Copies of this chain bind each other. A is one copy, B any other.
Amino acid sequence: MGKSDLPSATDAPDRVRTITDLARIAGVSPGTVSRALSGNSLVNARTREKIEAIAREHGFRPNQMASKLRRQKTGVIGVAIPLGHDVRQQISDTFFMTLLGYLADELTEKGYDLMLRRVIPAQDEDWLDRFIGSGMIDGVIVIGQSDQFERIENVADGYLPMVVWGNHQEGQRHCVVGTDNRLGGKLAAERLIAAGAGSLAFLGDTQPVEFAARFAGAREVAERMGVPIQALPTHLSVDRMTLEVAEHLEAILGECDGIFAATDTMAVACLKELRERSIPVPASMRIVGFDDLPISSHTVPPLTTVRQDIAAGAKGIVDLLLRRLEGDDTESLVLPPHLIARATA
Which of B68, B272, B275, B299 makes the CB contact (< 8 A) with A65?
A: B68
- A268 cross-chain contacts in B, Cβ below 8 A: 295, 298
- A66 cross-chain contacts in B, Cβ below 8 A: 69, 135
A115 and B114 contact, Cβ closer than 8 Å, known pairs A101-B91, A269-B298, A275-B300? yes
- A108 cross-chain contacts in B, Cβ below 8 A: 117-118
Seed contacts A64-B136, A92-B97, A92-B102; 9 additional CB < 8 Å A-B pairs: A61-B129, A64-B134, A65-B69, A66-B135, A69-B69, A101-B118, A104-B117, A295-B295, A299-B300
Asked if A327 is at the interface (CB within 8 A of a chain B CB), the reply is no
- A295 cross-chain contacts in B, Cβ below 8 A: 268, 295
B-contact 0/1 string along A157-168, CB 8 Å cutoff: 000000000000
- A133 cross-chain contacts in B, Cβ below 8 A: 59, 61
Asked if A116 is at the interface (CB within 8 A of a chain B CB), the reply is yes
Residues of chain A at the chain B interface (Cβ within 8 Å): 59, 61-66, 68-69, 74, 76, 90-92, 94, 97-98, 100-102, 104-105, 108, 113-118, 129-130, 133-136, 238, 265, 268-269, 271-272, 275, 294-295, 297-300
- Copies of this chain in its oligomeric complex: 2
User: Which residue of chain B lies nearest to A62 when distances are taken between CB atoms in the complex?
Assistant: B135
A90 touches B102 (CB 8 A): yes
- A74 cross-chain contacts in B, Cβ below 8 A: 65
- A299 cross-chain contacts in B, Cβ below 8 A: 298-300
Give Cα A115 to B271, complex, Å: 37
- A269 cross-chain contacts in B, Cβ below 8 A: 298
Give Cα A68 to B69, complex, Å: 9
- A100 cross-chain contacts in B, Cβ below 8 A: 91, 97, 100, 116
Give Cα A134 to B67, complex, Å: 11
User: Which residue of chain B lies nearest to A61 when distances are taken between CB atoms in the complex?
Assistant: B133
In the assembled complex, the CB of A301 is this many whole angstroms from the nearest CB of chain B, namely 9
A116 touches B118 (CB 8 A): no
